Amino acid sequence: MKKVLSLVLTTLFTFSIPLMAEIRETEQMSDILQEVEADTLVIFDVDYTLIHPDTMIFSYPGYRQLSNTMIDRANDGISLEKIQAWICTVMDNTSYYPIENDIADTFSAITAIGANTMGLTGRPTQPLGRIDDTGNFLLEILEGHNIRFSIASEIPTDVYLRIPSVFHSRPPIMYKNGCIFSANMPKGAVLARFIEKTGIEPKKVIFIDDLRHHVVSVATELDKLDIPNVCFHYLWDSPVDLAFDEELVSYQLNYLMDTDLWLPEKDAQEAISPSCEKIDDTI
């Protein structure tokens, strides 16, 4: 499905991408290695590019459903503290796994060439209920899979970023420990601001993301800065997106709001559609 959509979007965007931009499509992360050379900065999106969740709730449609449900509850008068507690419960019960099992080897190969790696995610970094910092929460997940961004050794400190189109961003747009947290702002503009503020001068930039509009955004801004770049649209069909079940996720969310507990998908499915009728032993 994603491959078909990609073909349609490729046609739509053909005349909107500057001539300098080189955008490719790939299904294998290792394809980027042929473009890596010394002093290259290789930038990775995180969700659905490096890692993926094991639950439907954090699939693309599931996250929209979660967000809309929490907004509705806030409009109903539920406190922010309660809503954040629910979201933390969902996060605590979600595991993430590398999309490609050898991704740590790809990172090692990039470093061996003399290039740097960095993350660029649409997620925010901010306190959320009992989670001190959602940015550190994500970085710890990556660390657990031996995914580390090498640029952290050169730019270890937090860098707050502001872009002209956003006078006041809450949560803040910022870089920390090797990763830029763009807080759903345009990734190209955020990356350009990071380059300007830190003064880094990469010989070349390689960027990879599963969402094409982010790829176009980054390629466009790098061209404006006259930085040679190759940007990859990563094609990967997420199992949890393909299997998304709106009724099941609704049941899980209602159960969460009634009990403050998260019901695993298998248990929720059993509650919605019992596999067999109970037998009356007295008969």
Does the pLDDT of residue 25 top 70, yes or no? yes
Give the pLDDT confidence of 111-165 residue by residue, as tens digits.
999 999 999 999 999 999 999 999 999 999 999 999 999 999 999 788 888 766 5
**What does the pLDDT read at residue 24?**
95
Average pLDDT (96-101) is 95
Spatial contact of 116 and 179, defined as CB atoms under 8 Å apart: no
Q: Which of 204, 198, 180, 193 is nearest to 122 (CA)?
A: 180
How far is the C-alpha of 236 from the C-alpha of 249, rounded, in Å?
A: 22
CA nearest to 178, candidates 143, 151, 197: 151
Q: Identify the burial level of 142 via C-beta atoms within 10 angstroms of its C-beta, where 0-12 means exposed, 13-18 middle and 19 or more buried.
A: buried
pLDDT for 21 equals 64
Domains and CATH numbers, the chain: 2-54+95-244 (3.40.50.1000)
pLDDT at 22: 77
- Reference 43, options 223, 204, 159; nearest CA is 204
Q: For the whole model, what pTM was predicted?
A: 0.86
